[in-house]
Structure 1
Amino acid sequence: MSRFALSVSVVALWAGLHTPALAQPYMAAPEVIGAAGGETISGVVFEDLDRNGRHDRREPGVEGVRVSNGRDWVITNAAGQYEIAVRPDMNLTFVQPSGWQAPVDHRNVPQFSYIHKPGGTGYSMRFGGLPDTGPAPEAVNFPIIRRPAEAHAFSCAVVGDSQTYSNQEVSWFRDGVVQDLAAMDLTDQDCALYVGDVVGDDLGLLDRLLEVGSVVGAPQWLVHGNHDFDFDAQSDADSADSWRRIYGPNYFAFEMGDVLFVALDNVVYPCGPEDYASGHDFCAPDARPTYNGRVTEDQLVWLEGLIESTPSDMLIVLSHHIPFVSFVDSTSDKHQTDNLDRIHDLVSGHQALSLSGHTHSTENHAPGQVFDGWTENTGTGPLPFRHIVAGAASGAWYAGDLNVDGNPMSLQRMGAPNGVVMLDFDGVDYAERYVGARIDETRGQWVGVSTPSLRAWYDAIMAWRAEDRDARNPVPPLSINDLPDPNILTLEELADGVWVTANVWMGSSETQLSGQIANGPALSFERTQSGAGEAPRIGADWADPFAVQRQLSVARYAMQSRSGDERAQGVFQWQGRQTGPAAPQPQNSVADRNMHLWRAMLPADLGLGVHAITVTSTDRNGLEFEDTIIVEVREARPQPTFRTELWAD
């Protein structure tokens, strides 16, 4: 059973989240005038009273709007006018100001930019790159409209790594996360923020995915990820060209209420001399082209100017694909962000929040957290503000067996389900919660039992998994059918050590755990990772028993038919790679470590019989999840399968 409770303050926040939506979506585009080819571009940010996207004489300009060429900033005057230098390759953007709303296109993608790149990409690209944009226009006018009422309370769905490699996976995204979001009554007063890897290498899927996501009702703002770039780009300056043509800028900012959202592109591809000189050997001149997590100098200058013009009482939300810091990749110099100390310095003096994706794990790092490897790889120590890794809408890459809805049960690298982070804002305050795809919102944790027999089962499969794939027996040593029921305990197992565990999907160092054995003692839970500078603890003792049971024996790999369709056999993932048909296999990602796992040792003298154990987690905002599991203590395990010997005659 599961129960969901909210503190009074969080209930009040939720009740005030939504203001009435506009009767019709505001659809328009920037007005581009002439082709002057000058050294500057001018224009006006104006109130589009008739909503046609064209600046008419009676439509007033909007003062105080920030406009950028991707490095420099200007602010519109009393008439809404601006003038800014032309750069040879630039995103001309404006910052949607609080109280105002940028138009959207038919995909519910905000229209707040003009892309300028004379000559275009200049060479053939798989997904088309950028065409020749020609000389700089004489003027670009940006239309906006007033919000019906300035909402200081709103929600934002943070979508990590939808990462669809195929149209089949776009459909799974549609029938999972999008289905949930569409039921949340989000409006144009809310936002959907994708934190990168929106697609999986195939930018030809992006339009369909955005059309599917448009049914959610909130404007879709996208961060550029390492599976969203042009792999045939010859330089980082070209790597987002197809993205810019299909979606828009690869870095930008917008305001809502008391919040400034900043979208950074911290994926440098192909990484090169600057990255190699800073110690990244995978960026050596003779290495295969790959990416590095870094914010470029142009963006840092852009970010500095943006923050200088941001009031100190606004919350700054830094959105980027590669985490600034990560628990699951804490020792990696590729999957975390260089020059992080400089970024932290830039936002010093402001309330701030970091949002990212990339790792396919949910991580909620409270201020003060630090793990081994962060300082060496990012230049930072204990965190000055909260950093959230938003997990993945694709989970562990659409792996796992199919659930009741026909979607893969894609548990992530630390065992949380695929899904989205919901942020509920009230002024500069916010409450974070994780919503598992097609899972009741009242559920926010897995509760399991870690027994000696489960840990031995885990070790045997993981040892086989580590063997040479070409030399090992193709059949794993054990499957889920070989695992004794973890909720049936013997006295011997209790003496050897049995833990009740809670994998709290959005758990942080502020989360409190409690447990109670019915008619028995209270349980004392400890977090398996304190976040005090230690390295990740890896192995059976630190794994989530609930998740690994589902990850280590996936029957879907065995699917086959006589249809003659090769692509209907086994499982196709990643870039079309086939696994199977084969015996049930462990999936590629297994929850062998965890920063949001708590455990409590069961008493060795727990009496024979049946016991109900209730586990409750409470987060920093008072959000509470409660689950009850039932365990049996027996002198010996009963035979699990049908007793055929009774029917031998």
Structure 2
Amino acid sequence: MSSRERVLAAVAGVAGIAAAATLATPGAAASGRYQHWDDTAYRGQIEVVRSADGPSDPTVLNGTVFVDRDRDSRHDRNERGLAGVEVSNGREVATTDSRGRYRLPVYDNMTVFVTQPAGYQVPVDEFNVAQFHYNHLPAGSPDLRYGGIAPTGPIPDAVNFPLVESRLTDDRRLSCIIAGDLQTYDLDEVEYARKGAIADLARRNDYQGCGSLFVGDVVGDDLSLYDEVKGLTAQTNGPARFLPGNHDLDFDATTAEHSFDTFRAQLAPAYFSYDVGNAHIIALNTVRYPCTPELDNADGLRPECDDPVNRPRYNGAIDATQLEWLRRDLAKVDRDKLIVIAGHIGLLNWADEGSAIHQVDQVREVYSLLHGRKAVALAGHSHSIENLRTGDSMQGWRDLFGVQSLPFPHLTVGAIAGDWYSGQVTEAGYPTALQRDGGRPGVLTLDLHDSSFQERFTVTGESDRVQTQLGLNSPTYREWYVARSAWNRNPVGAAPELGDPLVVDQADLAGGTWLTTNVFMGATGSTVTVRLDDGRPRAAVRTQAMQGEDQLVGPEWSDPVAVAEQLVHGGSVADRTMHLWRFALPADLSPGTHRAHVTATDIHGRRFTDSLTFRVVASR
């Protein structure tokens, strides 16, 4: 086997023994409760009622939230209205009365949506896309390449929101799929997603109650691909919901007011909320486009926003209207509920901790609104996997936003696209696409139990047992890293070759060689132990302490398995990661074949084992 083949094999989980968890995953235990999704799904749409005369007061929108007993999406006389349900126009939040009725002020450009209550399910269309909102834009969008919102005309007499009773959405134990950055730029990439993560989701039935939330960058700038995305969600087994990302923009919109019109027309409101079990899930729009110097760069930290006419850019931000809606929405939520707050650009993240535009300007305002509540933040955007825990701290958060440490966990969920579908195409029909942190593509599952949660990452094409990636970081590797990086910038002559990455010589050992363990959902509180051959287990050391320091970047802090693939076959380079552990190999390790047995224990006490066989030689 050549060195190139060894690297690809390691990426595919062949070079070492696949990691095996000693605890069953929560979703696997729960899957027996579910019937076939197509047999139980509530398919329908909202009811828009119009008359020739129109409403008596066009400044007010009326409607009813009702239990659709016959599942025809029409509010029949014998179907009861549901009291105590929240309905919003994106500004105000109304609560339905004893007959399920609501009243909301009308604005020229608004999206009206219902907050699904636990114990009930909103309808889904034939593609499993949740149907719970109505766009009101009388004259329609300005001229946009991808259409935007067609003219809706005057306000209707009523917008009624049908629901059906659902035991699944009120279960004490629920699994929620949180899918990051599908980000398909063309039909080839749609097929990569179909053969990869979507095929995995099609085989799972443990998320019917909560469904899937795609946290932005649903497509890659070409909004005509939304129809293809719906074809993908049609294969999943639960309601599909979406929030917008910076590649879901109407880039020809000249103001932020219309920058997500096509997204709103095709998929979902720009922001909304829903309840499942004892959790309140909030989907935010954290992308402002085009950003402007007055609103986004008053402090001088976002010069990208200084020329919105000639060089329009986006910024991580929540506008004042949405922030006020968030305050009103949270005011309706019992304080014992878990708040799951999701946005495309994370409130804060690790990969871009030193960048203002790739985090959310209003992070401290959001923290203030959530003060005293049990919460977890979810995000995509950075094409990395991050399990940030309460108390974690980084220099960039302090310098840019004045945040000393995280008040609750923040999870960056990885990307279905991985590193933008880069790398070699595997036999399974999708690319390796190793992410910026060396993690493999996949989806995150949030397992809810009452108001508690556990997170788990599922690598595309693998079981939940695969949670680690093992490699060797030696002086030979580090020298090759520098040489190959330089050659990639100026490819003259033959490319430097790494050789066999699982062979080290005694000079490598003397110069410092580490066995590296990339624990995809590794976090503060996780541990890694290494047992060499028949020796005793010894602790490995995490490379990034998360104690207020800056990022550690470079070959000595990199994941050698990922980098060996990325520098040769393209994509980002995993020259930093917050979930890498290193174990120094003894300088006097004897020549011959050795086996490292690795045990990673996550913060929930779940243990995962993996092993790596390597060889020591006297000299290369």
State the TM-score bracket (shorter-chain normalisation): over 0.9
Question: Aligned equivalents of 2:213 and 2:32: distance in 1?
Answer: 17
Contact conserved, 2:421 with 2:431, CA < 8 A, in 1? yes
> Counterpart of 1:184 in structure 2: which amino acid?
R
Report the secondary structure of 1:301's partner residue. Answer: helix
Q: How far has the Cα of 1:616 moved from its partner?
A: 1.0
Q: How far has the Cα of 1:341 moved from its partner?
A: 0.6
**Aligned: 1:67 with 2:67:** no
In structure 2, the residue matched to 1:606 is 589
Question: Aligned equivalents of 2:337 and 2:600: distance in 1?
Answer: 31
Stretches of structure 1 that go unaligned for 5 or more consecutive residues are 555-586, 638-649
Q: How far has the Cα of 1:381 moved from its partner?
A: 2.1
Structure 1 counterpart of 2:525, from 510, 527, 537: 510
Q: How far has the Cα of 1:476 moved from its partner?
A: 6.4
Q: How far has the Cα of 1:396 moved from its partner?
A: 0.6
**Aligned: 1:394 with 2:410:** no
Structure 2 counterpart of 1:106, from 126, 139, 142: 126
Report the secondary structure of 2:311's partner residue. Answer: coil
In structure 2, the residue matched to 1:44 is 64
> Normalising by the residue count of structure 1, what TM-score does the alignment of the two structures yield?
0.89
Report the secondary structure of 1:345's partner residue. Answer: helix
Higher alpha-carbon deviation: 489-498 or 393-402: 489-498
Contact conserved, 1:17 with 1:155, CA < 8 A, in 2? no
In structure 2, the residue matched to 1:536 is 551
> Counterpart of 2:443 in structure 1: which amino acid?
V
Report the secondary structure of 2:329's partner residue. Answer: helix
Contact conserved, 1:17 with 1:153, CA < 8 A, in 2? no
**Aligned: 1:246 with 2:266:** yes
> Counterpart of 1:109 in structure 2: which amino acid?
V
Question: Aligned equivalents of 1:326 and 1:248: distance in 2?
Answer: 25
Contact conserved, 1:339 with 1:379, CA < 8 A, in 2? no
Structure 1 counterpart of 2:347, from 308, 313, 324: 324
> Counterpart of 2:401 in structure 1: which amino acid?
T
In structure 2, the residue matched to 1:283 is 305
Structure 2 counterpart of 1:622, from 599, 602, 605: 605
Contact conserved, 1:319 with 1:354, CA < 8 A, in 2? yes
Question: Aligned equivalents of 2:438 and 2:520: distance in 1?
Answer: 8
Question: Aligned equivalents of 2:27 and 2:129: distance in 1?
Answer: 27
In structure 1, the residue matched to 2:334 is 311
Contact conserved, 1:317 with 1:352, CA < 8 A, in 2? yes
Question: Aligned equivalents of 1:13 and 1:174: distance in 2?
Answer: 22
In structure 1, the residue matched to 2:407 is 384
Contact conserved, 2:217 with 2:344, CA < 8 A, in 1? yes
Structure 2 counterpart of 1:32, from 48, 52, 60: 48
**Aligned: 1:274 with 2:288:** no
Q: How far has the Cα of 1:287 moved from its partner?
A: 5.4
Q: How far has the Cα of 1:91 moved from its partner?
A: 0.8
Q: How far has the Cα of 1:475 moved from its partner?
A: 5.5
Stretches of structure 2 that go unaligned for 5 or more consecutive residues are 1-16
CA-to-partner distance for each residue in 1:397-431, whole Å, 9 max, x for gaps? 00001112121111000111111111111111111
In structure 2, the residue matched to 1:207 is 227
> Normalising by the residue count of structure 2, what TM-score does the alignment of the two structures yield?
0.93
Structure 2 counterpart of 1:352, from 368, 375, 387: 375
Contact conserved, 1:615 with 1:627, CA < 8 A, in 2? yes
> Counterpart of 1:589 in structure 2: which amino acid?
S
**Aligned: 1:20 with 2:53:** no
Q: How far has the Cα of 1:609 moved from its partner?
A: 2.1
Q: How far has the Cα of 1:95 moved from its partner?
A: 0.3
1:347 and 1:17, CA in 2 relative to 1: closer, same or farther beyond 3 A? farther
Structure 1 counterpart of 2:560, from 545, 560, 569: 545
In structure 2, the residue matched to 1:581 is none
1:156 and 1:132, CA in 2 relative to 1: closer, same or farther beyond 3 A? same
Question: Aligned equivalents of 2:144 and 2:30: distance in 1?
Answer: 48
**Aligned: 1:177 with 2:160:** no
CA-to-partner distance for each residue in 1:363-391, whole Å, 9 max, x for gaps? 11000011111123234220000000011
> Counterpart of 1:276 in structure 2: which amino acid?
N
In structure 2, the residue matched to 1:574 is none
Q: How far has the Cα of 1:111 moved from its partner?
A: 0.8
Alignment of 1:450-461 (within 5 A): 450-461=473-484
1:632 and 1:473, CA in 2 relative to 1: closer, same or farther beyond 3 A? closer
Contact conserved, 2:316 with 2:358, CA < 8 A, in 1? yes
Contact conserved, 1:357 with 1:391, CA < 8 A, in 2? yes
Question: Aligned equivalents of 1:171 and 1:593: distance in 2?
Answer: 30
1:476 and 1:308, CA in 2 relative to 1: closer, same or farther beyond 3 A? farther
Question: Aligned equivalents of 2:32 and 2:199: distance in 1?
Answer: 19
CA-to-partner distance for each residue in 1:161-197, whole Å, 9 max, x for gaps? 0100001100100000001111122453231110100
1:128 and 1:431, CA in 2 relative to 1: closer, same or farther beyond 3 A? same
In structure 2, the residue matched to 1:432 is 455
**Aligned: 1:522 with 2:540:** no
Q: How far has the Cα of 1:226 moved from its partner?
A: 0.2
Higher alpha-carbon deviation: 41-50 or 12-21: 12-21
Aligned residue-pair number: 594
Higher alpha-carbon deviation: 541-550 or 615-624: 615-624
Report the secondary structure of 1:461's partner residue. Answer: helix
1:71 and 1:260, CA in 2 relative to 1: closer, same or farther beyond 3 A? same
Question: Aligned equivalents of 2:493 and 2:559: distance in 1?
Answer: 24
Q: How far has the Cα of 1:474 moved from its partner?
A: 5.2
CA-to-partner distance for each residue in 1:191-244, whole Å, 9 max, x for gaps? 111010010001111121122222111110101000001000010000011111
Q: How far has the Cα of 1:316 moved from its partner?
A: 0.6
Question: Aligned equivalents of 2:33 and 2:96: distance in 1?
Answer: 28
Contact conserved, 2:180 with 2:415, CA < 8 A, in 1? yes
Question: Aligned equivalents of 2:137 and 2:103: distance in 1?
Answer: 18
Contact conserved, 1:501 with 1:599, CA < 8 A, in 2? yes
Question: Aligned equivalents of 1:634 and 1:269: distance in 2?
Answer: 57
Report the secondary structure of 2:395's partner residue. Answer: coil
Q: How far has the Cα of 1:6 moved from its partner?
A: 4.1
Contact conserved, 1:19 with 1:151, CA < 8 A, in 2? no
Question: Aligned equivalents of 1:14 and 1:378: distance in 2?
Answer: 40
Higher alpha-carbon deviation: 145-154 or 403-412: 145-154
Two-structure CA RMSD over aligned residues (Å): 1.6
In structure 1, the residue matched to 2:148 is 129
Q: How far has the Cα of 1:521 moved from its partner?
A: 4.6
Question: Aligned equivalents of 2:33 and 2:155: distance in 1?
Answer: 40
CA-to-partner distance for each residue in 1:42-101, whole Å, 9 max, x for gaps? 111000000001101100010100011101011001111111111121110110000010
In structure 2, the residue matched to 1:492 is 507
Report the secondary structure of 2:33's partner residue. Answer: coil
Contact conserved, 2:177 with 2:207, CA < 8 A, in 1? no
Contact conserved, 1:3 with 1:625, CA < 8 A, in 2? yes
Higher alpha-carbon deviation: 374-383 or 523-532: 374-383
**Aligned: 1:263 with 2:279:** no
Question: Aligned equivalents of 2:492 and 2:153: distance in 1?
Answer: 58
Q: How far has the Cα of 1:276 moved from its partner?
A: 2.4
Q: How far has the Cα of 1:608 moved from its partner?
A: 2.2
Question: Aligned equivalents of 1:454 and 1:143: distance in 2?
Answer: 60
> Counterpart of 1:603 in structure 2: which amino acid?
P
Question: Aligned equivalents of 1:460 and 1:407: distance in 2?
Answer: 29
Contact conserved, 2:27 with 2:206, CA < 8 A, in 1? no
Q: How far has the Cα of 1:487 moved from its partner?
A: 2.0
> Counterpart of 1:133 in structure 2: which amino acid?
T
In structure 2, the residue matched to 1:53 is 73
> Counterpart of 1:252 in structure 2: which amino acid?
F
Question: Aligned equivalents of 1:195 and 1:290: distance in 2?
Answer: 20
In structure 2, the residue matched to 1:559 is none
> Counterpart of 1:291 in structure 2: which amino acid?
Y
CA-to-partner distance for each residue in 1:307-356, whole Å, 9 max, x for gaps? 11100110010010001112121110111110101101101121101000
1:165 and 1:634, CA in 2 relative to 1: closer, same or farther beyond 3 A? same
